[in-house]
Every structure is written in C-alpha cells, then in structure tokens.
Amino acid sequence: MKSIDITLIEDKVKEIKNQILCALQKEWDVNIKDCINGREALDYLNSPQAPVDLILLDLKIPFEKFDAAKRENGEKVLRSISRIENNRIIPTIIITAYPDLLDEPVSFGRRYKIYCYIDKSNSEFSEKLYSCVHEIIHGEIKNRNRFCSFGNKVCSRPVRFKGRNSCFLAYSSEGRYAGFMKDLKKELKAEGIDAFDWLDKDRDFDSPSGLVFCPFLCDRIFSRNVFVANITDKNSNVYFEWGFSIAIGRKSYALCQEDSAESLLSLLRNNLHIPYKDTDVKEKFFFDDYLNNLYGRLTDILPALYTPPNPASNVLGIFPNDKTHKSYIANKLSEFIKNLELLCLERENNIITVLNRILSAEKIVLDLLSDKEDAALDNNATLLFLAGFALGCGKKIFLLQQEPIQKSIADVYPILQPYSDINEVESKLKEWESMV
C-alpha cells in the first residue's frame, strides 16, 4: 500500500482528522502531521526533511499559539508556503466550513497555488477529498467519455493526467509564427515545464482507438493543465483545439501578433486573446504570468461560464454570416429539425452570450462556409472554435460544410458532412436529431 504524507493545518484537529483517515486509508497508508496554528505549520514545512505530498489548510486559524482564529492568518500561511524554496509545488487543498469561500476569485487561487476548495461541512466531504487526492497522487483523470461524443461515437479511453506543470502548444506548422512557438517551447522546457506540441511523440496517445475522430489530439489537450495556441494565422485546427481546451477547463492562452489582432472576427476579439509585438519569448505578456500561476483552476478568461446551466432538450444551429445561409440554408435547417434555435455569427458579438447558448443546448449543428468563399477563413475558424467548445462540454455535434472543400481540416475531417445541396443531409440530420 502506497503511503502519503499530509500536512493538516487546522485548529480543530480532532473534528476533521478521523474524516480524513476514513476517506483515504482504504487506499493509502496515510501519515498526517497536524499543525494547530500557522507558526507550527511553517516551522514544519520549512524543514528541508519534512515529508509532504499535499497540504490541507483551513483558512480560519490562529497564527501564533494564543491568537484568535482569523481568515487573514490562513492567507498569511498561504503567502509563506508559496515562497518556500522547493523543487516542486506542493498541492494545497483548502478545507472550509464557509461555503462562500468556494466562490473565491480565481486569481486568489492561482496566486497561492490552491489546488481546489472543499466544504468540510458538506455531507460529501469524504468523497470529494478522496477524488482530489486520487488525482494528485495517481494523476488520473476520470470520466473521459464526458468530453467526446460525436453522434453515436463515444470515446471511453482512460487518460493519464500529465500534472499541473504540463503544457500543450497548438500552432500551424506552416504559419509565420511557428518558429516563435518552437522558441517558446524551448524556454518552457528550460524552466522545467513539460511543454509538448502536436509534433511530439507520446507513447500514451499515439495509438488512437479509432472510436472517435481525433482521440490522440484531444487526449493530449485533456491530459495537460495548460493550453497555449498561436491564433495569428487563423488555422482552423488550432481554433477548434482552443475552444475544446477552454470547455474542459484548461488554463488557456491564445497568442496573436499585435498587427493581426484587429482582423480577428469580432466575436473572438474581446478579451479572448493576448496580443504581442515581437517574437521575444521572454516578454512579460505571457511568460511571467504562466510561471507565477502554474496551479490555475478554470481559466479566468470566461468567468461567466463557471457554473453552466442545465442542458435543455433543444438543438442550436450556428451558421456563418453570408447571404445564402441567412436567406436559404438556415430556413432549410429549421424545416429539417424540430425546435431548432438559430444563431448567426453576424448578429452575436458577445462571446459570453454565445457560449452560454451552447451550454444550454443539448445538440449543436454547425455549418461551415465553402472554402471558395472570401469570408471562409474568418467564419470557419470561429465556427470551429465554437465546435471545439461544444465538444468539450459534452454536446452532440453535427458538422456540415458546403462544397467545394479545397483543404482538409485534419481534426474534424473524418466527421465532416459535406454537401452541394442542403437537401442531401436532411435524412442524416433527422436521424441524428432522434438519437438520445
């Protein structure tokens, strides 16, 4: 049986210690070092030989032996822990009896390397604690099939979490800024960060199951804590991966060369990307922030999406901004599918509104422009961002593209439904809509 060493910082030790042991000792030999105040905890943690796999901290504690228990004392301990010289970050779980703390700003959690919050007054405390510790110790992500469901194809492959100090980089190999991303990857690796891109070989993921369209790529994004994309060249694959990463809660960065940022479709231009002026990878726009906030929870780019609404039994159709779609194809889709709600990219410029509409739908139909259309690059990149987001949220997707299709979108081509006449897909749409 594997042993784990836990430092418990809690002034009411007896009330919580037995709960911790009951939750964890069925799988591990649990060693708990209990500290009833902040000073005792820091004296222990600063010892070079102190064994510690994770920290459980109640924020409302005394700092010195005879102090009153105050929240600011817990914050003081967090600040001190974050400065401890160590060759690795020690995961810290906040245990609290105050449910309002569960709504802490994400910036607070990142600043102090907080892994998660658990309400110790909740009846599910033991179950949630076990789940968090299991992920920390084993590095295993469960419920993989929640995120991959295209039609009747569902992927249930187990995925090994590569750790909080892991990063996936997405970019176009033919883009002008591929060299910039490769330099960034080198710098991240030099800092001890497990930076990985789609060109790298990974023994865990290089034998796709064949059950879904791109399991190895989704697995690579899913298994890592941070996602970094260069979206300057509007590569459709990169935009799809970017949307997927946000939906599954990865700390996501979308980098765009400053001169090109204004050409982004307005829906994705507001607060969704980080512009940069040159190709110096040590610029503070990204690098310092990444290193300082390695243990982020859900990306703070989209704070309104922390608690998705319950999905309703409806279908959302998303189509591009062109005359044919607005005047004909959208109406045809409404004839084919009952209770279809329509969303045109031209009419929606608020990204929060659009993503919340995806979250509230059960199924999503997206229709890409033909590659021959002048507006295809912008529209299709945005549509595939939304497709990736919908997939990451576990939505069932039907992806259309009007012919001619001149270039393969590698990530989604196996499940893309091309058409020259929209009536060709009527039967397939109706069959898909009827699927549970």
Kindly state whether residues 375 and 313 are assigned to the same domain. Answer: yes
Higher pLDDT, 191 or 281: 191
Q: What pLDDT sits at residue 295?
A: 34
- The residue range of the domain holding 383 is 305-434
Q: At 193, which CATH number?
A: 3.40.50.450
Q: In this structure, how many other beta carbons lie within 10 angstroms of the beta carbon of residue 150?
A: 20
Q: Read off φ and ψ for residue 258, nearest 5 degrees.
A: -55, -40
Q: How far is CA 96 from the centre of its chain?
A: 25
Over residues 342-363, the mean pLDDT reads 81
Residue 286 resides in a domain:
yes
d(CA 369, CA 383): 9
* Number of domains forming the structure of the chain: 3
Per-residue pLDDT band at 153 (split at 50, 70, 90): low
Task: Answer yes or no: do 162 and 295 share one domain.
Answer: yes
167 and 71 inside one domain: no
pLDDT at residue 142 greater than cutoff 90: no
Rounded to whole angstroms, the Cα distance separating 183 from 199 reads: 14
- Name the band, by pLDDT with cuts 50, 70 and 90, for residue 118: confident
Return the pLDDT at 359: 82
The answer, yes or no, to whether residue 108 has pLDDT greater than 70, is: no
pLDDT value of residue 280: 54
- Is residue 207 within a helix (H) or strand (E), and if so which, with residue range? none
Rounded to whole angstroms, the Cα distance separating 44 from 38 reads: 10
pLDDT at 114 over 80: no
Q: Residue 421: which CATH number?
A: 3.40.50.10140
| pLDDT attached to residue 40 | 94
Most confident of 37-41, 130-134, 260-264, 394-398: 37-41
User: Does the pLDDT value for residue 253 go beyond 70?
Assistant: yes
Asked whether residue 153 is assigned to any structural domain, the reply reads no
The answer as to whether 44 is a domain residue is yes
**Maximum pairwise Cα distance, the chain:** 78
* Residue 294 sits in the same domain as residue 364: no
Which pLDDT score is estimated for 212? 46
Whether pLDDT at 6 is above 90: yes
Q: What is the pLDDT of residues 46-61, one digit of tens each?
A: 887 888 888 999 989 9
Res. 159: pLDDT tops 80: no
In percent, the amount of the chain with pLDDT more than 90 equals: 14
Percent of the chain with pLDDT strictly greater than 70: 70
| More confident of the two residues 83 and 375 | 375
Residue type, 101: L
8 with 130, same domain: the answer is yes
The predicted structure's pLDDT at residue 210: 43
In this prediction, residues 147-164 reach a mean pLDDT of 58
Are residue 164 and residue 133 in the same domain, yes or no? no
Residue 181 confidence class, pLDDT cut points 50, 70, 90: confident
Same domain, 430 and 325: yes
Query: Of 18-22, 196-200, 211-215, where does mean pLDDT reach its minimum?
Result: 211-215
Q: Of 282, 300, 318, which residue is a domain's last?
A: 300
**304 pLDDT exceeds 50?**
no
Residue 138 has pLDDT above 70, yes or no: no
Q: What share of the chain is helix, strand, coil (3-state, %, to 5)?
A: 40, 20, 40
295 shares its domain with 309: no
Q: Which residue has the tokens 């959302």?
A: 316
Higher pLDDT: 274 or 356? It is 356
Q: Which helix (H) or strand (E) holds 54?
A: strand 54-57
Would you say how long the chain is, in residues? 436
What integer best gives the mean pLDDT of the chain? 76
287 plus 361 within the same structural domain: no
What type of residue sits at position 77?
Answer: V
pLDDT of residue 290: 46
Q: Is 410's pLDDT higher than 70?
A: no
pLDDT computed for residue 42 by the predictor: 93
Higher confidence at residue 252 or residue 319? 319
Instruction: Out of 280, 300, 320, pick the residue that ends a domain.
Output: 300
Q: What is the pLDDT of residue 276?
A: 61
- In this structure, the answer to whether residues 162 and 213 fall within a common structural domain is yes
- Which tokens belong to 69? 């228990």
pLDDT digits (tens, 9 = 90+) for 12-51: 887 789 899 999 998 899 999 999 999 999 999 988 788 8
Under 8 Å between Cβ of 57 and 94: yes
116 and 14 inside one domain: yes
Higher-pLDDT residue of 274, 337: 337
Residue type, 132: C
Is pLDDT of 381 > 80?
Answer: yes
CB 230 within 8 A of CB 273: no
What is the predicted pLDDT for the residue at 302?
44
Q: Which of 191-205, 228-242, 343-357 has the lowest mean pLDDT?
A: 191-205
Helix axes 125-138, 13-24, angle to 10 degrees: 60
DSSP one-letter string for 239-288: HHHHHHHHHTT-EEEEEEEHHHHTTS-HHHHSSS-EEESSS-TT-TTTHH
All residues at 6 or more sequence positions from 3 whose CB lies less than 8 Å from its CB, including other chains: 28, 29, 30, 31
Dist. CA 235–CA 230, nearest whole Å: 9
Which has the higher per-residue pLDDT, 72 or 152?
Answer: 72
Q: Which of 104, 138, 172 marks a domain boundary?
A: 138
pLDDT value for 272: 62
Q: What is the pLDDT of residue 433?
A: 82
And the tokens for 59? Answer: 């924020």
Residues 312 and 281 in one domain: no
CATH number for the domain including 58? 3.40.50.2300
